[in-house]
Amino acid sequence: MAPQLEPFFKQVDDLSESFIDRLRKAVAIPSISAADEHRPDVFKMGQFLATELENLGAEVHQRPLGKQPGKEHLDLPPVVIARYGNDPNKRTILVYGHYDVQPALKEDGWATEPFELTIDEKDRMYGRGSTDDKGPVLGWLNVIEAHKKAGIEFPVNLLCCFEGMEEYGSEGLDDFIQAEAKAFFKDTDAVCISDNYWLGTEKPCLTYGLRGCNYYAVTVSGPGQDLHSGVFGGSAHEPMTDLVTVFSKLVDSQGNIQIPGLMDLVAPVTAEEEKLYPNISYSMDDLHESLGSKTSIHATKERTLMARWRYPSLSIHGVEGAFSAPGAKTVIPAKVIGKFSIRTVPNMESEDVTRLVKDFINSEFAKLGSKNTLNVELMHDGKWWVASPKHWNFTAAGKAVQQVFGVEPDMTREGGSIPVTLTFEQATGKNVLLLPMGSSTDAAHSINEKLDKSNYIQGTKLLGAYLHYVAEEPVKA
Amino acid sequence: MAPQLEPFFKQVDDLSESFIDRLRKAVAIPSISAADEHRPDVFKMGQFLATELENLGAEVHQRPLGKQPGKEHLDLPPVVIARYGNDPNKRTILVYGHYDVQPALKEDGWATEPFELTIDEKDRMYGRGSTDDKGPVLGWLNVIEAHKKAGIEFPVNLLCCFEGMEEYGSEGLDDFIQAEAKAFFKDTDAVCISDNYWLGTEKPCLTYGLRGCNYYAVTVSGPGQDLHSGVFGGSAHEPMTDLVTVFSKLVDSQGNIQIPGLMDLVAPVTAEEEKLYPNISYSMDDLHESLGSKTSIHATKERTLMARWRYPSLSIHGVEGAFSAPGAKTVIPAKVIGKFSIRTVPNMESEDVTRLVKDFINSEFAKLGSKNTLNVELMHDGKWWVASPKHWNFTAAGKAVQQVFGVEPDMTREGGSIPVTLTFEQATGKNVLLLPMGSSTDAAHSINEKLDKSNYIQGTKLLGAYLHYVAEEPVKA
C-alpha cells in the first residue's frame, strides 16, 4: 500500500522558504575543518545542528573525539548524534552526514561570497557547503519539522550521525562508529547516507557500489644528496630515470593496466550486469563536459561507465623530491618518490593487489641493472564496496524516487570511495544506501559550489518519502 | 728565461695575515644577489672592492647595469671594472670574478656563522663566498699589493671585470662585455677566469673545456582541469601516463641516450685525446665520495671522466603540475610539464639537437594513440666551450703551477657550464683560461663553504706567477 504523502509534500512546499533560511544560517558558519583558525566555527556549526535538533524534539548528544592527532592544541569537533523516536514497532534508520566544509575564499574565483547563500535567477543556491553536505543534513531536519507541523506520525525511528571532520579525513570517526554500533546505534535496521551526487542533472539515482583505492609510493634513491647534472650527468645512475622507466611499465595510454595477473582478480561481467548500462541516463557529452575536453578513452557510455564503476584503473599522481617548480633547474634529484594508485573493484583483495604490484615493479627494476635502490610501499588502502540493490532499503528508496520525481532512479556505482560507507556496513552489519540530493553540476570542493532549490526541496520530500516506504517494505524483498 | 719570483713569493708569505684579513672583511658583507633585502650589501661589496683597488693605484669604475628585469624597484649592482698598468709594451690580461654570493643561513646547518670567516685547526677558512668567488677575486688584489710592497715591476697590464649578479644569472653582463670588448677591454690579449675548482684536493688544474646545456620542457595536456582519479580513472587519457611513457624512451639507466642520431653528432675520440685521461689525478674513490654513494655507472676513472667531459648526458629533472608534496593525493593532473636537459659537447649544434629531440618525442607520442596534446619546447641553450690548451695563456699557467706547486697541472674539462667563458671568448676573440684557486671539497653553494688557507696563499702566488710567465711566453707556443 502506498503511503499517503500529499500532506507531507504540501507542508514541505509551505515551509520551503524557512528551509532555505535554515540552509542560509548554516552556510553562514564557515565550518572549515582543514583550517585551524576556523575550528571554533566548526564547533559553532555542531552546536547549531544540536540546537535545531533539540528544538525539533530529538534527543541530542555532542560526543567529543579528543585532541586532533598531530595537532594536539586542537580539539576535534564533536560527532552530533541524535535519536528521534524510540518505538520498538518501527524500523530504525541511521542517517549520516557531515557539517564541516571545504575551504573557500572569494578570491579563489567565486562569483559570490562563499559563506553567504546567494540565489540566482535560475534558483541555484550558491554557497560553500550548500550541497556538500549541509543541504542534505538539513534535509533530515526539514523532514522532521514538516511532519511535526503537518501533524503526521513519523514513520520510523531516526538516528543521526553528523560529523565535523569529513573534509579532513574523518579523524576518529571509525572507532566511534564501531563503538556506537553496539550502543547508541544498536537498533539500526538500515543506513542511509546522503553525501554524493546524481550522475547527471535530471534523474535521481541510488548508489550501491564504490571502488576501493590502493595507494602506492615507489622510492628510488642513490646519491647521498642532490647532484649537479653538469658534473654528474653521465657518470651516476639517476633515480629519476629509473623511476620513469619503471612507471612507464604500469599502464598504457589507453588505461590498460600492464601488471601481470592484476586483471585476473576482477569479477567477470555477467549477462545480467551487462544489461544495466544501456539504461543509465548518461552520455558521452556528459563525460566530455565534466572532463572539459574530448580526451576520453572509450567510444560508448556503456564502456565508459564500466571503466569508471566496475573495472580497476591506475593513475600516476606525481613525483615527490624531483624539481617541480616553474623554470629550469639542472638538478639530478637524489631521491624521488613516485606516487600512483589503483582503483579496485570486486574481487580484488588488497593483499593480492599489493603482492602483484611489488613483484612486478621489483622485477622491472631488476632488469635495469641500476645501482640505485628501489622500494615499493602501500601508503593506504580502502576496500571497494558493493551493496545489494534488491534489499528493502533500496526498493523503498526506489519507490520514493518514483513518487517524488515520477521516474525510476538510475542504479549507479561510483568510481571513487566514501570510506564511511564500508565502516557503517561493517560496524552495523546492515544494508547501506547512498541516496544523493545534489546533482553532478554542484561543484562540491570547487569554486561556486551550489545546490539547486528544486534539489533541496524535492530532495527533502525524497528523504521523507523514503522513510515512509522504508516503514512499509516487507523484510524479504 | 724563468722569471725571478722569490721576492714576490716571500712578500705574499709576509702579507698572508693581511690577505686573510682582507678576505675576512669581504666575507663579512652578505652580498647575496638573490635576496632583495641584501641588495644594499651587494652594492657595499662592490664599493669595498672599488676602494681597495683604488688604494692599490688602479683606475676603477663602477658601471651601472640599470634596473633588474622583472624587479624594477631594484637597481642591478654595478660591474666593477679596473685597469692596473697601461704600458703598450706589456701584454694585457683581463681577469673576471664575481663579488656576490649564494644565500646562507646558520640554521641551514652551518657549523659556524656563515658571514664570519672562521679558521679551524686544519687552516680551513669557513665562510660564504670564501671560495666562490671572493677568495679568487681578492687573490688578484693581493698580487698587486705584494708587487707594490716588494717593489717589483708589475709584469702585465691588468684589466678586472668583477660582477655582482653571477649567482642570479649574470643579469645584463653579456651585453656589457660585448660593448666593453671594443672599449675598456679593447687591448685584451688573453682572459683568465678564476671561478671553478680543482678536480681533487691535491693537484691544481687548468680547465680548457666545458659542456653546453640544452634544457627542454615537454608539456602534455588534456582535461580542462585536474580530475579526481576515482571518477575519471580508466575513462580519460591521463597526461602523466603519456609523459612518463615518452620520458622512459629518452635515456636508459646506464646513461645511454636513446634519441636516434644524437650520438652521431659527437666528435670522435682521437688517439691523442685517449692518452690524456689515464694521467689525470682522479680516482673512483673521489667520484664515490662526491656522489655520497657508489651508484656510479662506469668502472674506471677514464670512462667516468670522458662521460663527464666529452660525452653528452641526459638528465630528467622533474615534473611541474603533478602532485609533488608529501602524502597521498588522488589527483589526475590535467597538465604536466616534464623537464629534462642534455649536456652537449663538440660538435653538437643546438639546432641539430633540438630537431632530433623534437622529432623523436613527437614520433614516440604519436605511437601512444593518445587524445592528449604534447608540446616540446627548448627553454634555453648554452653552447659547449673548448679552448686550445697549447696557447701561451695555458702554457704560461702550466709553468706557474710547476713553479708554485712543483707539479704539472692536470688539463681538465668540466661537465657543467660557465656561460661567461664563452661570452668572453666570443666578445674579445682571445684565448680564455680557467685557472681555479679552490679545491673540490670547498662546498661552493652548500653549507660550510670554505677555502683552505694554503689554496688562498699559494693561489695568490699562482695568479702572480701566471702573470709573470704570461709576460715571457712567445706569441706562437
pLDDT at A100 over 70: yes
Residue of A nearest to B230 (CA): A416
As a whole number of Å, the CA-based R_g of chain A is 24
Q: What is the DSSP string of B83-111?
A: EE---TTS-EEEEEEE--B----GGGT-S
End-to-end CA distance of chain A: 15
Cis bond before residue A393 (omega within 30° of 0): no
- Tell me which chain B residue has its CA closest to the CA of residue A378: B328
User: Are B90 and B234 found together in one domain?
Assistant: no
The answer to the question of residue A277 being in a domain is: no
Residues in chain A: 477
Average pLDDT (B157-182) is 95
- Output the CA–CA distances (angstroms, integers) from residue B302 to A125, B50, B194, B274, in the order listed: 72, 44, 26, 9
pLDDT at residue number B351: 98
DSSP letters along A164-196, please? S-GGGT-TTHHHHHHHHTTTTTTT--EEEE--S
- Binning chain A into helix, strand and coil, the percentages to the nearest 5 are 40, 25, 40
Q: Name which of A40-44, B181-185, B415-419 the model is least confident about.
A: B415-419
Cβ-proximal residues to B470 (8 Å cutoff; 6+ apart), any chain: B91, B93, B155, B156, B190, B392, B393, B396
Please report the sign of the dihedral spanned by the C-alpha atoms of residue A396, residue A401, residue A406, residue A410.
Answer: negative
B317 is in an annotated binding site: no
Yes or no, beta carbons of A229 and B315 under 8 Å apart: yes
Chain B contacts of A237, Cβ < 8 Å? 253-255, 295-297
* B169-181 mean pLDDT: 94
Q: How far apart are CA B312 and CA B316, in angstroms?
A: 14
Is residue A119 located within the same domain as residue A173? Answer: yes
CA B335 to chain centre: 33
* Helix count and strand count (H, E) for chain B: 14, 20
Is residue A340 domain-shared with residue A397, that is, in the same domain? no
> Among the three residues B358, B382, B406, which one is the final residue of a domain in this structure?
B382
Which residue type sits at A73? H
Structural domain that includes position A366: 212-267+310-382
Chain A: give the shortest CA distance to residue B383, in Å: 13
A395 with A327, same domain? no
- In this structure, are B59 and B186 located in the same domain? yes
Backbone angles phi, psi at B142, to 5 degrees: -60, -40
Specify whether B141 is located in the same domain as B60: yes
Question: Region A271-277: what's the mean pLDDT?
Answer: 92
Q: Which of B211, B304, B324 sits opposite A230 (nearest CB)?
A: B211
Backbone angles phi, psi at A72, to 5 degrees: -70, -10
Chain A residue numbers touching B333 (CB-CB < 8 A): 317-318
Is A305 among the domain residues? no
What pLDDT, on the 0 to 100 scale, is given for residue B442? 93
Instruction: Give the active site residue among A41, A100, A381, A414.
Output: A100
Q: Are B80 and B52 in contact (CB under 8 A)?
A: no
Examine residue A202 and state whether it is found in any structural domain, yes or no.
Answer: yes
Question: Tell me, what CATH number does A337's domain have?
Answer: 3.30.70.360
Q: What is the DSSP letter of A101?
A: B
pLDDT over 60 at B310, yes or no = yes
Kindly state whether residues B425 and B318 are assigned to the same domain. Answer: no
The C-alpha cell at B400 is: 706557474
* Residue A282 falls inside a structural domain: no
The answer to whether residue B3 scores a pLDDT higher than 90 is no
Whole-number Å distance between alpha carbons of A136 and A436 = 8
Going by C-beta distance under 8 Å and a sequence separation of 6 or more, which residues neighbour residue A340?
A215, A216, A218, A247, A250, A314, A315, A316, A317
Q: Are residues B341 and B370 in the same domain?
A: yes
Asked if residue B449 lies in contact with residue B129, where contact means CB atoms within 8 angstroms, the answer is yes
- Distance (Å) from the C-alpha of residue B339 to the closest C-alpha of chain A? 7
Assigned domain for A246 exists: yes
Has A166 been annotated as catalytic?
yes
CA distances from A373 to A238, A454, B97, B247 (A): 11, 57, 40, 20
ipTM of this complex prediction, to 2 decimal places: 0.90
* A287 touches B: beta carbon within 8 Å: yes
Mutate: best of B167, B244, B381, partner A, most A CBs <10 A: B244
> B66 phi and psi, to 5 degrees?
85, -160
Per-residue pLDDT reduced to its tens digit, A384-399 = 999 999 999 999 999 9
Q: What's B80's domain CATH number?
A: 3.40.630.10
> From the centroid of its chain, how far is CA A252?
27
Active site includes B166?
yes
> Does B291 touch chain A if contact means CB atoms closer than 8 Å?
yes
Whether the link from the prior residue into A133 is cis, omega within 30° of 0, is: yes
This prediction's pTM: 0.89
Q: pLDDT of A298-324, one tens digit each? A: 999 999 999 999 999 999 999 999 999
Would B428 be classed as within a structural domain? yes
Determine the pLDDT at residue A474: 85
First to last CA, chain B: 15
Domain end marker among A358, A382, A406: A382
pLDDT of residue A476: 52
Boundary of a domain, candidates B362, B382, B402: B382
- Using CA atoms, how far residue B83 sits from A4, B141, B156, B159, B186, in Å, is 103, 12, 11, 5, 12
Confidence of residue A425 (pLDDT cuts 50, 70, 90): very high
Mean pLDDT of A403-422: 94
One domain, residues A254 and A322:
yes
| CB proximity B296 to A under 8 Å | yes
Least confident of A117-121, A278-282, B338-342: A278-282
Q: CA A301, CA A299: separation in Å to the nearest integer?
A: 7
Strand, coil or helix: A263: helix
Domain-embedded: residue B301: no
**pLDDT at residue A2 greater than cutoff 80:** no
A477 has pLDDT over 50: no
Residues B31 and B87 grouped into a single domain: yes
Cα-trace Rg, chain B: 24
Q: What is the pLDDT of residues B50-65, one digit of tens each?
A: 999 999 999 999 999 9
Q: Does pLDDT of B477 surpass 50?
A: no
pLDDT digits (tens, 9 = 90+) for A113-137: 999 999 999 999 999 999 999 999 9
pLDDT of the residue at B476 = 52
Number of domains in chain B: 2
**Residues contacting B77, CB < 8 A, separation 6+:** B31, B33, B39, B42, B43, B45, B46, B65, B100, B163, B164, B165
Give yes or no: residues B325 and B417 share one domain: no
Mean pLDDT for B292-310 is: 97
Question: What does the alpha-carbon distance between residue A200 and residue A401 come to, in Å, rounded to a whole number?
Answer: 15
Q: What does the pLDDT look like over A178-212, one tens digit per residue?
A: 999 999 999 999 999 999 999 988 899 999 999 99
A459 and A322 part of one domain = no
- In-domain check, residue A272: no
Instruction: Give the residue-averaged pLDDT of B25-43.
Output: 97
Write b or e for each residue in A381-410: b if 16 or more Cβ atoms lie within 10 A of its Cβ, otherwise e. bbbbbebebebbbbbbbbbbbbbbbeeebb
Q: Which of residues 137-156 of B touch A (CB under 8 A)?
A: none
